[in-house]
Structure 1
Amino acid sequence: MSKSTLKKGILQLLIANVLNMIFSIGTNFLLPKYLSVESYSQIKTYQLYITYVAVLHFGYNDGMYLKFGGRSINEVYNEEIQKNISTLKLFQFIMTICSVCVAFGLHDTALLMAAIAILPQNMIAYFKNFYQAIGEFKKYSRIMNMTTGLTFAINLFLIAVIRTDRYQVYLVGYIILSVILWFVLEYSLQRIKEFKPFAFDFSLRELYENVASGILLLLGNFSSQLLTGMNRWFVKGLMDTLAFAQYSFAVSMENFLNVAVTPISVTMYNYFCNHDENKDIIRIRELVIAFATVIVATAFPVKFILEIFLQKYLDSVTVIFLLFAAQIFYIIIKSIYVNLYKARKMQKKYFTKLCIIVIVGFAFNVICYAIYHVKESFALGSLLSAIVWFFLCLIDFKELRYSPRHYVYIFIETIVFLACGILLESIMGGILYITITIILSMLLLPDAMKKIWNTGKVMIIRMRKSKSR
């Protein structure tokens, strides 16, 4: 992937993700506004379970991701796709049956629904990983937009037309959606790579090779999910339904950032597979730092909406800002360092570091809750864990050292963000934070600001030329 292709990929995903963000915002404000706290809590419990179903492919998708990473669609043989997909399909069907039996025994409706969704969810994840690995970012973004767009449509239909508060109906709708999306994606790829959809072509060797090469990456990703989802498990186990619903709402707002971050984090892996020069990485990293501190400012509009329209979740404001502050570090980690671990085949080091940080994260959650028994304690634990993870990554990439001005910028921005968000009203806090961010960026990140300024000018010139035509 060339630098121009990298820019094109980022731009494609960024434009496509605007629509994704609109649907995500609609979904995440519709549900808490019109559903009871109990139903909303059950839906968020199901979604919490769903985040862990990827564990049940045991690294198969990750092995495929590493296998095809850096290749183009034309460099992937039809026979490879045929065997790859068919093997995963049968494997996940078996895992679904086993998981459904367990869920029946535990009498947990949300868990049962999540178990039924294992096969379609992991098949959708396969196609997302495949398109990401081969650099087909437009197709990757379409999957994301189809998922969020149709999810929004289902929620709107059930709320406005059916007018039901039964969470079971919503969960069934999500499962049906995932099955339809899986079928569409499989037939869509078949038109490009000429293989037989839903054919039986199981290969034990294919299963072993993909799992063997991807298991460490899976465990690393699972540890990352465990770390970022750990606080919700603590809240669910130690606090009441209202606290879990409010905390889950805060996490939903935090997930908005993934929409903006995805264009960077997704394209970086394919780029690093083909460009591993430190000078390029250092230049990109500074841009990511600037981006991270700017994008978290979306927390202020969220706070404004809570102040005006959704006051029953206003108690989640402090949690929102602590989680968004953690994202300043997570965006840097996931966009740069996680992709470097993958591109340089450093899965063992990645997994080791994540094991350490999961233990550290668990300790922070326990300690913070022991000091003060409120849901905000777990959000603080998440922020502290993100900071520790950030420094752990630096140990493995000493050649990519930061200068003192970078550390000053990141930590001053974090402190200012928390102060403006928690202590001030949304409008005043947002204006003050953006003002300070612009000043600090010009003083401490002049190269990044110059690059952003020049890129902006080029885009404006191109837009004017296209209009004149």
Structure 2
Amino acid sequence: MKSILKNLSFTLSSNLISIIITSVVTLIVPKYLGVNDYGFFQLYMLYCNYIGFLHFGWADGIFLRYGGAEYDCLNKHQFSAQFFLYTSFTLFIGISICMFSTFLTSESSKAIIFVLTGIAVILLLPRTFIQYILQCTNRIKEYSVLIISEKIVFIVLVLFFLLMGNKSFITIIISDLCGKLISLLYSLYQCRSILFSKPENIFVAFNETYKNISVGIKLMFSNIASMLIIGFIRLSIENQWDVATFGKVSLALSISNLLLIFIRAVALVMFPLLRRTDFSKLSEIYNNLRTGIMIPLLGMLIFYYPLKEMLSIWLPAYADKLHYMALLFPICIFESKMSMLVETYLKTLRLEKKLLIVNLITLILSISMTMYNVYVIHNLDLTVLSIVILLMFRCTIAELYLSKNININVKQDLIIEIFLSFLFIITSWYLGDFRGVLIYLIAYMLYLYIKRFDIVYFIKMMREYTRRK
């Protein structure tokens, strides 16, 4: 228990720093960068989100096959050969993107973004390989420092360039690449005993590669489908509206997603721990964790109105699109629960195929809704609203399936959570002031009353865990 709390404290500390830095970047960069340049920076960040899929499930397979293993028990020669092949493949992909960037677009600014994305591929993919080793072997401290180093280098360089008067999206992206480079070097140093050992026979390495990809490919496609649910919508907005509108909507989405950095960090700690947990205890753990995250998440929506007002004052150039936070804020509820609980449990139970099916169904719905909202009726409001509807649908279907596998009943909780989410959207969108906050606050207090016994039990269990420490 002591090691669990220690790892969790490392993760929470590092990601609290990440949230602070990301918040600073989210608030300062659009203030001084300019709407168009910020739009191009967001386009680069969107492309970077998909870099991790260019290994075709290779690293995902390692994560799934070796999750819960001890670092010192790993076959050093085997992983050294895997890293050599993986890095060679990464260099080929990254250089190809840089070389063919001019063929991908005729617009010079977008061509530059493709070149910088190609460089990001070369820096990010090898680090992803090492990250997964650190995560699946529960070396959370080293993983946490890796994340912090990237963020600190990034924010220091961003502030330096802005203070020097260099307000271009290119310098912001270069700052991001420098952060990725430093974190890559640190990760190489931490896993040097494995990565720089004598590689095993190349034919054995290819066989191991095949095993990793065959296991990880389902999870990779699941992750691709998951990201494309929102990604297709964002790309369609960029295609049908100008880059300034894309940047403004992306800012509202970034603010709504800030909490997810923290939640996903906790999920990384949970996976190797749950792999070592007895199946009979998974249901009780799930119910306790669910109570522990849903209570504060639903309560957090109360702060929408004051946050929107402060951001409108701080970022007047984006004020006309900040009202979309009313539609996007509930994203954190469903994505947090999906990342921390549902996905983690499905991976633990090796049900990644079911996760893939759920994500593919949601992606098909996303494409259908986007084609209608964007290309038929050209309605930006419905397009943004569809994001939360789709993520709500995905989380609900996945959790209902999971509940059958671990024998728990979540239907009543799901109905209440969906009701509260739509109540928040309706009151915030149509009222948008303290009246909307008051209506939602009353409903939230009723929710706390309904869940009072679960809350008391959760507090009791947390006290027991603390005593064990």
- Tell me the TM-score range normalised by the shorter chain: 0.7 to 0.9
Pair 1:415–1:169, CA change in 2 (3 A): same
Do residues 335 (structure 1) and 340 (structure 2) align?
yes
- Partners of 1:83 and 1:254 lie apart in 2 by 41
Aligned with residue 29 of structure 1, among 23, 27, 30 = 27
Q: Label 1:283 to 1:147 Cα distance change in 2 as closer, same or farther (>3 A).
A: same
The answer for the alignment partner of 2:328 in structure 1 is 323
CA 1:292–1:372: 2 relative to 1, 3 Å: farther
Could you tell me which residue of structure 1 aligns to residue 153 of structure 2? 150
1:437 paired with 2:439, answer no
Alignment match of 1:165 (pick from 164, 167, 175)? 167
Give the whole-Å Cα distance in 2 for the aligned partners of 1:396 and 1:76: 31
Counterpart for residue 357 of structure 1: 362
Residues 378, 6 of structure 1: CA spacing in aligned structure 2 closer, same or farther, 3 A cutoff? farther
The residue aligned with 2:108 is: none
Task: Compute the displacement of 1:445 (Å).
Answer: 5.0
Question: Which residue is 1:38 aligned to?
Answer: 36
Q: In structure 1, how many angstroms separate the alpha carbons of the residues matched to 2:303 and 2:143?
A: 24
Residue 188 of structure 1 is matched in structure 2 by: 190
CA deviations 1:371-415 (Å, max 9, x no partner) are 863433222111111122123211354244434541343123213
Match of 2:234 in 1: 232
Is the Cα contact below 8 Å between 1:17 and 1:260 reproduced in 2?
yes
Percent identity at matched positions? 18
Q: Give 1:237 shift.
A: 0.9
In structure 1, runs of 5+ residues without a counterpart are: 463-469
Q: Pick from 225, 237, 247 the counterpart of residue 223 of structure 1.
A: 225
Q: Which of 424, 432, 450 is equivalent to 1:417? A: 424
Other structure's SS at 1:373 match: coil
Rounded to whole Å, the distance in 1 between the matches of 2:61 and 2:222 is 13
Unmatched runs of 5 consecutive residues or more in structure 2: 106-110
Distance of 2:408 and 2:357 partners within structure 1: 21
CA 1:34–1:262: 2 relative to 1, 3 Å: same
| C-alpha displacement of 1:17 | 2.0
| Structure 2 Cα separation of the partners of residues 98 and 453 of structure 1 | 56
Q: Distance in 1 between matches of 2:20 and 2:390?
A: 30
Aligned pair partner of 1:262 in 261, 264, 288: 264
Measure the CA separation in 2 of the matches of 1:452 and 1:311: 42
Q: Tell me, yes or no, if the aligned pair for 1:297 and 1:434 is still in contact at 8 Å.
A: yes
Cα drift, residue 215 of structure 1: 0.9
Query: How far did residue 197 of structure 1 move?
Result: 8.0
User: Cα offset for 1:270?
Assistant: 1.7
**From 381, 384, 404, the counterpart of 1:398:** 404
Say whether 1:131 aligns with 2:134. Answer: yes
- Report the Cα distance in structure 2 between the residues aligned to 1:321 and 1:266, rounded to whole angstroms: 29
Amino acid at match of 1:395: Y
Q: For the residues of structure 2 that align with 1:102 and 1:198, how far apart are their CA atoms?
A: 35
RMSD of aligned alpha carbons: 2.9
- Give the drift of 1:296: 4.8
Q: Distance between the aligned counterparts of 1:296 and 1:222, measured in 2?
A: 28
Look up the equivalent residue of 1:442 and give its one-letter code.
Y
Distance between the aligned counterparts of 2:464 and 2:372, measured in 1? Answer: 49
TM-score, normalization by structure 2: 0.88
Cα gap change, 1:424 to 1:458, in 2 (>3 Å): farther
Q: Structure 2 vs 1, CA of residues 138 and 301 (structure 1 numbering), >3 Å: closer, same or farther?
A: farther
Contact 2:290 2:341 (8 Å CA) reproduced: yes
**Inter-partner Cα distance in structure 2 for 1:198 and 1:120:** 23
**Measured at CA, do residues 372 and 185 of structure 1 come closer, stay the same or move farther in structure 2, by a change above 3 Å?**
same
Question: Is the contact between residue 80 and residue 200 of structure 2 (CA under 8 Å) also seen in structure 1?
Answer: no
Please list the CA deviations of residues 24-48 of structure 1 after superposition, one character each: whole Å capped at 9, or x if unmatched.
1111111110011111111111111
Query: For 1:257, what is the secondary structure of its paired residue?
Result: helix
- 442, 452, 455: which one pairs with 1:448? 455
Alpha-carbon distance change, 244 to 403 in structure 1, aligned in 2, over 3 angstroms: closer
Moved more, 389-398 or 17-26: 389-398
Contact conserved, 2:312 with 2:318, CA < 8 A, in 1?
A: no
Amino acid at match of 1:447: D
Q: Give the residue type in structure 1 aligned to 2:390.
A: S
- Superposition TM-score, scaled by structure 1 size: 0.88
Q: Which amino acid aligns with 2:157?
A: I
Tell me by how many angstroms 1:180 deviates: 2.7
Q: What is the identity, as a one-letter code, of the residue corresponding to 2:234? A: R
Aligned partners of 1:147 and 1:426: how far apart in 2? 38
| Aligned residues between the structures | 456
Which residue matches 2:104? 106
**Distance between the aligned counterparts of 2:250 and 2:300, measured in 1?**
20
The structure-2 alpha-carbon separation of the partners of 1:448 and 1:85, relative to structure 1 and needing over 3 Å to count, comes to farther
Are the counterparts in 1 of residues 67 and 272 from structure 2 also a CA contact under 8 Å?
yes
Quote the offset at 1:323 in angstroms.
2.0
Corresponding residue SS for 2:329: helix
Q: For residue 90 of structure 1, what is the amino acid of its counterpart?
A: S
Measure how far apart 1:200 and its partner are: 11
Post-superposition shift, 1:89? 0.9
Note the 1:239-318 alignment, pairs <5 A. Answer: 239-275=241-277, 276-277=279-280, 278-297=283-302, 299-300=304-305, 302-318=307-323
My pick for the range that moved more, 34-43 or 269-278, is 269-278
Task: Report if the CA contact (8 A) 2:342-2:402 is conserved.
Answer: no
Distance change in 2, residues 1:83/1:445 (3 Å): farther
Superposed CA offset, 1:267-291 (max 9, x none): 2222321223323323323333324
